[in-house]
A and B are shown apart, each in its own frame.
Chain A
Amino acid sequence: MSVLEVDGLTKRFGGLVAVDDFSLDIEEGEIVGLIGPNGSGKSTVFNCIMGSYDVTEGSIRFNGDDITADSTHEIVTKGLSRVSQESNPIDLYSVGGNIKLFTLPNSIRSLHGGASDEEIYEYAARIDIEDKLEEMPDELPHADVRRLEIAKALATEPDMLLLDEPFAGMNQAEISELSAQIERFRENGMTMVVVDHNMGGLMELVDRVVVLNNGDFLASGSPEEIAENEHVQEAYLAGEGL
């Protein structure tokens, strides 16, 4: 069954067509790579799915529900969570506090609900930052800030994760480590879409790849097929390499 169905998604910013009639179907348990050169519209697709941007045209369904017009918090509550390209932890709260925020119920009556310290530890342990819970986000190295972002998303107990450039700014060792962790999420039944601007971190990780170029669907296939695809290579020739 399709978990996420994006159908004919179009997003215009004034005259600029950032995403043009783009469709995407994600099956349960899949890891799909969404790639494209910088500015091709990948983050915009995520922003439309998450309700951060109003959709110009098209529809989005999650677990069979039409979520096109939903607000972000409603979509998150339905089990879809996104790790943004930019990290935005709350610097006043410790790592543990930042994770805790993401476990709080959306209810004004729940004054002391949310995850226990043990549960917060578990979320952090799933991405290996459980020994950083007391630290403040602005003291963390970049890779750990990115991990915190993932821990926050996990703390909302999602069925599906959208990861926007999770490997950006990481070195090779950190990329492999994160890859392995994402692989583990899949083993626990998580469905994922991973955005990256090139194939580097995705080759080993994803089941299939969808390529966006200038807001248009360009190609889709196995990582190997995409790496060989002439149109994809052309698109990337204009900018940085695949």
Chain B
Amino acid sequence: MISTILLLGTVLATVTGRLGDAAGTVRQQLLLPIGQALDRLLAPIDRGLEPAANAYNRSLGRYFGTMSGLQFALIVGSVVALLTAGVWAPMVGPLVGGGLLRTLALASIWAIFAMSWDIQSGYTGYISFGHSVLSGAAGYTTALLIVHVDPGLSIWVTASVSVLAALVVGLLVALPTLRLEGPYFSLITFVAVLLFYRLTTAFSSLGGIPGFGQPDVFTWDPVMRYYYMAIPMLLIALGLTFMARSNLGMILVAIRENESAVSAAGINPTKFKIWSFALSSIPMGIGGVLLVGFTGNVDPDTFVIVDNSIEMIAMAVIGGMSSILGPLGGAFLFEFLNHQLFHGYSTPVRYLFLWGLVLLVLVFARDGLFRMIWHRLGAVGGESE
């Protein structure tokens, strides 16, 4: 425990102290040569993979972004790893503390949240501090339907209505607030989540603090449960990447960089901001439904609490905002650290580490770890910087 705190203290000192200069030296003396050696090592592999990447680039690159050989390999490798996790995770799991499939399932849900947050906040720069209101709206809708309407309702009915509820709540937040400029939008989303949290805890008809235990989990089989979470996550990643690489992504980033230039281009920024929020609310709702199926319980601390909203931001930041796949990677890293690597520590200590990591990324790698790796891989071929 004490050594943990000492370690964290050292880490924080690195951030704040004059060691910042040392970082520059480290970069010069250590990282640069390592990078060059890595380049020499990876360049032939990159070239070897290029034909496959180019075949993809010619057919689908226009819709999902073009990639270098190594970038293509990373994506294909990750997708294959995720799709086969049901086989390898139970074997590898014990080496990293066990329960790996559970962590991966949870990470899939959080990846949905982080990506959904990203298409709205990361892309437009209108940072939402209250996105858990959206997943919460979906979760609570499912619970209320089961408790108050009919426990036998099919999942397709409860899920559709729940996602719709997330969309409605999203529009309720977005319509009046996205016209505002400056910090008002962020503050209002923040208040919205505080309000919703108190609402759910204050009224027993809304479950109160214990929430609702009636919704069932999708399945108790850990392998099946993992795929219930991972497949929708991959589809959402595909859909959001497609959106982000289209005109829509270009306009949303332009809104973040210079909203008046967007107006001058004859494009209505308000319309696109609201659309991005809607586009974010739908997968947030799907994530909320999946979280119900994962925990079997809908309560304020699992669904609404403001920490949730901040945690998805943390994941997006660690992975790299406004890239969709960065937040996906960030979510997996965050959950892996939280539940596997740090699993021996108490919750407060784990979160001390995690927030420390967020701070480090914000100070030293503002583009995020996965965006950094991504650009590094792209640069091996010597094209971009």
Chain A residues in contact with chain B, CB under 8 A?
50, 52, 71-74, 76-77, 81-82, 84, 88-93, 97, 100-102, 104-106, 108, 110-114, 152-153, 155-156
A3–chain B nearest beta-carbon distance, Å: 18
1/0 per residue, CB under 8 A from A, across B246-263: the answer is: 111011011001101111
Cα–Cα, bound, A181→B294 (Å)? 65
Q: A73-B267, A106-B268, A108-B272 are in contact. Are A88 and B250 (CB under 8 A)?
A: no
Cα–Cα, bound, A81→B267 (Å)? 12
Determine whether the beta carbon of A77 is less than 8 Å from that of B247.
no
Determine whether the beta carbon of B260 is less than 8 Å from that of A101.
no
Determine whether the beta carbon of B263 is less than 8 Å from that of A73.
yes
Residue of A at shortest CB range from B266? A76
Cα–Cα, bound, A108→B271 (Å)? 8
B49 CB within 8 Å of chain A? no
Q: A110-B247, A111-B247, A112-B247 are in contact. Are A104 and B265 (CB under 8 A)?
A: yes
B144–chain A nearest beta-carbon distance, Å: 31
Which residue of B243, B257, B266, B268 has the most chain A CB atoms within 10 A of its CB atom? B266
Residue of B at shortest CB range from A52? B260
16 more contacts with CB within 8 A, not counting A101-B254, A101-B265, A105-B247, are A52-B260, A71-B263, A73-B269, A93-B254, A97-B250, A104-B265, A108-B248, A108-B272, A111-B242, A111-B246, A112-B62, A112-B246, A152-B261, A152-B264, A153-B264, A156-B265
Cα–Cα, bound, A100→B265 (Å)? 10
1/0 per residue, CB under 8 A from A, across B218-247: the answer is: 000000000000000000000000110011
Contacts of B261 in A (CB 8 A): 88-90, 101, 152
Contacts of B262 in A (CB 8 A): 73, 101
Determine whether the beta carbon of B268 is less than 8 Å from that of A73.
yes
Count of chain B residues near A, Cβ 8 A: 26
A2–chain B nearest beta-carbon distance, Å: 22
Determine whether the beta carbon of B266 is less than 8 Å from that of A156.
yes
Contacts of A108 in B (CB 8 A): 248, 271-272, 275
B237–chain A nearest beta-carbon distance, Å: 17
Query: 6 shortest A-B CB distances, which residue pairs?
Result: A76-B266, A111-B246, A72-B263, A102-B265, A90-B257, A77-B266
Residue of B at shortest CB range from A97? B250
Cα–Cα, bound, A86→B94 (Å)? 61
Cα–Cα, bound, A5→B23 (Å)? 61
Determine whether the beta carbon of A91 is less than 8 Å from that of B257.
yes
Cα–Cα, bound, A63→B63 (Å)? 39
Determine whether the beta carbon of B267 is less than 8 Å from that of A104.
yes
A56–chain B nearest beta-carbon distance, Å: 21
| Secondary structure type dominating chain A contacts | loop
Q: A88-B261, A90-B258 are in contact. Are A101 and B266 (CB under 8 A)?
A: no
B239–chain A nearest beta-carbon distance, Å: 12
Residue of A at shortest CB range from B249? A111
Contacts of A91 in B (CB 8 A): 257
Contacts of A112 in B (CB 8 A): 62-63, 246-247
Determine whether the beta carbon of B257 is less than 8 Å from that of A102.
no
Determine whether the beta carbon of A106 is less than 8 Å from that of B271.
yes
Cα–Cα, bound, A77→B268 (Å)? 10
Determine whether the beta carbon of A72 is less than 8 Å from that of B264.
yes
Determine whether the beta carbon of A102 is less than 8 Å from that of B258.
no
Determine whether the beta carbon of A76 is less than 8 Å from that of B258.
no
Residue of B at shortest CB range from A157? B266
With beta carbons under 8 angstroms apart, the residue of B247, B248, B266, B275 that contacts A73 is B266
Determine whether the beta carbon of A92 is less than 8 Å from that of B265.
no
Determine whether the beta carbon of A92 is less than 8 Å from that of B266.
no
Contacts of A81 in B (CB 8 A): 264
Contacts of A50 in B (CB 8 A): 264
Contacts of B272 in A (CB 8 A): 108
Determine whether the beta carbon of B263 is less than 8 Å from that of A111.
no
Which residue of B250, B257, B265, B275 has the most chain A CB atoms within 10 A of its CB atom? B265
Cα–Cα, bound, A180→B135 (Å)? 58
Contacts of B248 in A (CB 8 A): 108, 111
Contacts of B250 in A (CB 8 A): 93, 97, 100-101, 104
